[in-house]
Amino acid sequence: MAKLTQRGLEAITAAQAGEVVRDEGNLFGRVRTRSDGGISISFYYRYRFGEKLKDLSCGAWPADSLATIRAARDAARDKVSAGINPGVERKIIRHDKQEEMVQKLAAIEAAKALDMTVQNMFEAWIADGVRRKDGNEQLKRMFKVDVLPAIGAIAVKDVTEHHLRAVLRTMVERGVNRSAVMVRNSLTQMFAWARKRQPWRKLLVEGDPMELIEIEKIVAPEYDMDNYRDRVLAPEEIRELHGLLARMREQYDAAPNKRLAAQPLEKTSERAIWIMLSTLCRVGEMTMARWEHVDLAAGEWFLPKANVKDNVADLMVYLSPFALEQFVELHAITGHTEWCFPNRGATSHLDVKSISKQLGDRQVMFKKAKDGSPRVLENRRNDNTLVLAAGANGEWTPHDLRRTGATMMQQLGVALDIIDRCQNHVLPGSKVRRHYMHHDYAEEKRAAWAALGKRLSDVQIMACESDSA
């Protein structure tokens, strides 16, 4: 058999694609064309091992020189002579290299895992471990402000109770005890999730540091750990509130230059205050209300359970004349939209925290910045125009209006279980009782809301008489 030469290989053209060229020593090559129009010849050594003929790749010309290809053939031939199958040996070597690569990659990943930080854990938890009703937005804000700047860059394996305690103490020092408790609860939830899963479980081999945090010893001594807020607006404060809102609007309307005048509370927010007070609804339930669920002619407002806290149950609110008047005035403002309280572009409902922020921004004497100084927020109201009773009874919030309305019902002699039903609370009692007893107490609730509305109308009338006097 003629021995291949370099010149002979160079003489092969693309027209010979598919042909087989042979060299001595059972070496042969298949001619193939490349994408650039040139050729490539893949060479194989054919040998017999046992009862079978096998082909072993020895390289490809011109990427490999003819001498290199022959050397690969000679090495394979020597192994066959020694009783070694070169094809199997090559597979073993390839397998060993792959195993080595896998081990190296595993070692790299293990080393990388050891450096995983609290920031990495938080991102994994947010993605896969927690789903709150607001899409985790409040959770992200809390961690971004107080947790991640302090300990986000610390490796999880290095986090101790002292790091976590320092985060909470810093919050308490600026007077946000309730927020500190909320952050503690969220950190506890995050670490509990992490210690059940890899790679975090390996990193917490020393235990969950949150189990050593005693929040009772961190918050201010006077802070109520049960967060039992009992703020109720007295009739005098309701009258004062009515007068404040009216005067702010009158002063603004009479101002010669409204650009320089203090903006009153938005008209929709004014209506929101009286709706919450007269219906006992939550601020979130109210801001998500749609006009399709409000029947002004029948005086009814339907709250689907999807909008209710914990999705307890649907609720039909029977509007008193007082509450109906608020919805009628509100409809004149936003009735052209889908939402009772639309956002700026009317593409959805108002943010559920918007009204709380509006009320809080007008009671800044109760707010503190991180350093303990009076809080001042950019592009926000920072005054005390809605402080009641000169601040003697503390700040009031939207939820206090719900509590105030319920308390007024109680003072009017409404039965406690009817008040609970007006608030859409889960009532005590066996599941069997709830399963079989389906009276809706519509008339009792209607009477309760009507009595509350009448009382609020009387309070407002007294406020107007007092102002005129």
Read off the pLDDT of each residue in 54-71 and give the average, rounded to a whole number.
93
Task: Indicate which CATH number applies to the domain containing 172.
Answer: 1.10.150
Q: Are residues 461 and 362 in the same domain?
A: yes
Cβ atoms 440, 427 nearer than 8 A: no
Please report whether residue 103 resides in a domain. Answer: no
Read off the pLDDT of each residue in 222-233 and give the average, rounded to a whole number.
80
Q: Are residues 69 and 141 in the same domain?
A: no
Q: Confidence class of residue 399 from pLDDT cuts 50, 70 and 90?
A: very high
Least confident interval from 186-195, 332-341, 363-372: 363-372
Q: Are residues 137 and 205 in the same domain?
A: yes
Give me the pLDDT at residue 107, please: 60
Task: Indicate which CATH number applies to the domain containing 388.
Answer: 1.10.443.10
Read off the pLDDT of each residue in 153-162 and give the average, rounded to a whole number.
94
Please report whether residue 388 resides in a domain. Answer: yes
Which tokens hold the place of 366? 């109760």
Please report whether residue 102 resides in a domain. Answer: no
Q: Helices (DSSP H) in 38-176: which residue ranges? A: 66-81, 86-114, 118-128, 137-142, 148-151, 161-173
> pLDDT digits over 356-398, tens only?
999 999 999 888 776 667 777 777 888 899 999 999 999 999 9
Q: Are residues 62 and 13 in the same domain?
A: yes
Tell whether the model's pLDDT for residue 92 goes beyond 80. Answer: yes
Tell whether the model's pLDDT for residue 419 goes beyond 90. Answer: yes
Q: Are residues 59 and 123 in the same domain?
A: no
pLDDT > 70 fraction of the chain, expressed in percent and rounded = 92
Cβ atoms 46, 26 nearer than 8 A: yes
Please enumerate in sequence order all residues whose Cβ is within 8 A of that of 338, keeping only pairs 6 or more positions apart, or say none: 290, 291, 292, 346
Cβ atoms 367, 381 nearer than 8 A: no
Read off the pLDDT of each residue in 426-455 and give the average, rounded to a whole number.
78
- For the beta carbon of residue 179, count every other beta carbon within 10 angstroms: 16
> 188 versus 307: which is more confidently predicted?
188
Q: Confidence class of residue 330 from pLDDT cuts 50, 70 and 90?
A: very high
Range of the domain at 149: 118-217
Please report whether residue 106 resides in a domain. Answer: no
User: What angle (nearest 5°) sits at the alpha carbon of residue 463, between those of residues 320 and 232?
Assistant: 70
Total number of domains constituting the chain = 3
Lookup result for tokens 């597979």: 91
Give me the pLDDT at residue 375, please: 75
Q: Are residues 34 and 177 in the same domain?
A: no
d(CA 171, CA 184): 11
Cβ atoms 164, 151 nearer than 8 A: yes
- Rounded to the nearest integer, the mean pLDDT of the chain is 89
Q: Confidence class of residue 242 from pLDDT cuts 50, 70 and 90?
A: very high
Residue 77 forms beta bridges with which residues? Answer: none
Read off the pLDDT of each residue in 124-152 and give the average, rounded to a whole number.
93
Please report whether residue 225 resides in a domain. Answer: no
Please report whether residue 108 resides in a domain. Answer: no
Q: Are residues 11 and 80 in the same domain?
A: yes
Please report whether residue 112 resides in a domain. Answer: no
* Domain final position from 60, 94, 128: 94
Please report whether residue 303 resides in a domain. Answer: yes
Distance set, CA 423 to CA 20, 276, 426, 431, 457 (Å): 89, 11, 9, 20, 20
> pLDDT digits over 106-133, tens only?
665 665 667 899 999 999 999 999 998 7
Q: Are residues 448 and 421 in the same domain?
A: yes
Tell whether the model's pLDDT for residue 437 goes beyond 60. Answer: no
3-state DSSP assignment of residue 30: strand
> pLDDT digits over 171-185, tens only?
998 888 889 999 999
Give me the pLDDT at residue 132, please: 87
Q: Is the pTM higher than 0.75?
A: no
Read off the pLDDT of each residue in 331-344 and give the average, rounded to a whole number.
96
Q: Which helix (H) or strand (E) holds 5?
A: none
Q: Which of 258, 238, 233, 236 is nearest to 248 (CA)?
A: 258
d(CA 405, CA 278): 6
Give me the pLDDT at residue 87, please: 84
Q: Are residues 199 and 241 in the same domain?
A: no
Least confident interval from 286-290, 369-373, 429-433: 429-433
Task: Indicate which CATH number applies to the domain containing 29.
Answer: 3.30.160.390
Give me the pLDDT at residue 217, please: 93
Read off the pLDDT of each residue in 288-306 and give the average, rounded to a whole number.
96
* Domain final position from 94, 126, 145: 94
Q: Are residues 261 and 372 in the same domain?
A: yes
Question: Between β-strands 300-303 and 39-49, what pairing exists: parallel, antiparallel or unpaired?
Answer: unpaired
Q: Are residues 48 and 132 in the same domain?
A: no
Q: Are residues 345 and 424 in the same domain?
A: yes
Give me the pLDDT at residue 163, please: 96
Read off the pLDDT of each residue in 98-104 and give the average, rounded to a whole number.
77
Tell whether the model's pLDDT for residue 427 goes beyond 80. Answer: no
Give me the pLDDT at residue 260, please: 82
